[in-house]
Chain A
Amino acid sequence: QVQLVESGGGVVQPGRSLRLSCAASGFTFSSYGMHWVRQAPGKGLEWVAVISYDGSNKYYADSVKGRFTISRDNAKNSLYLQINSLRDEDTAVYYCAKDLDSSGRSLPFDYWGQGTLVTVSS
């Protein structure tokens, strides 16, 4: 069965950096686009970034472009999100999600992890 397990969250001071990881299993990781989606406390879902199956294409939400970097290691079945210059408004649960397609564009997200909480606080 498909499993996505996020890790790397925690309490971080503003301006610092953090790297989130998502360990995937139960499917051919290297064949699918992957996403990061976040949800601030009590708020709705916000798409953050997508990476194509081979890592050749990446797209970011305007709110994170230039500070966040999505990457993947297909040999390790892992997805990553590097977050730099953390801000208060980055406080959220961060989910990784699997795309139904290889490109990560147009088809929906069919599996989600349980999320990892990032709290930005001094």
Chain B
Amino acid sequence: SYVLTQPPSVSVAPGKTARITCGGNNIGSKSVHWYQQKPGQAPVLVVYDDSDRPSGIPERFSGSNSGNTATLTISRVEAGDEADYYCQVWDSSSDHWVFGGGTKLTVL
């Protein structure tokens, strides 16, 4: 089955740029979606189809996808961005949705 690999944690100072990676075999050929989850809350879609943003999501959130790595980039990080972030793809070979293990973003 398809596996997505994320770093368990990323730390960044306020105002700096955070990059969260999501690794998978030839992930560049798939559409990657990203979710933000704050403690005690349901996940929220922040980037879809590699780099598109749903309405209401700040432009500070962006994404890219190429080769074996997709990346969620958060510019000018704020304290309110502290959360767990998950990448997701549809694996058509197994007809399964797959989530990465999640990355905890800490704002120093």
A105: which B residues are within 8 A, CB to CB? 90, 92, 95
Bound-state Cα–Cα, A10 to B49, Å:
36
Q: How many residues of B contact A (CB 8 A)?
A: 26
CA distance A114 to B98 in the complex (A): 21
Chain A residue numbers with a CB within 8 Å of B21 are none
Contact with A along B73-108 (1 / 0, CB 8 A): 000000000001010101010011111111000000
**B43 contacts chain A at the CB level, 8 A cutoff:** yes
Contact between A106 and B42 (Cβ–Cβ < 8 Å)? Answer: no
User: B96: which of A44, A47, A95, A107 is its contact (CB, 8 Å)?
Assistant: A47
Produce 1/0 per residue, A11-25, CB < 8 A to B.
Answer: 000000000000000
Contact of B97 among A47, A113, A115 (CB under 8 A): A47
Interface residues of B (CB under 8 A from A): 1, 31, 33, 35, 37, 41-45, 48-49, 54, 84, 86, 88, 90, 92, 95-102
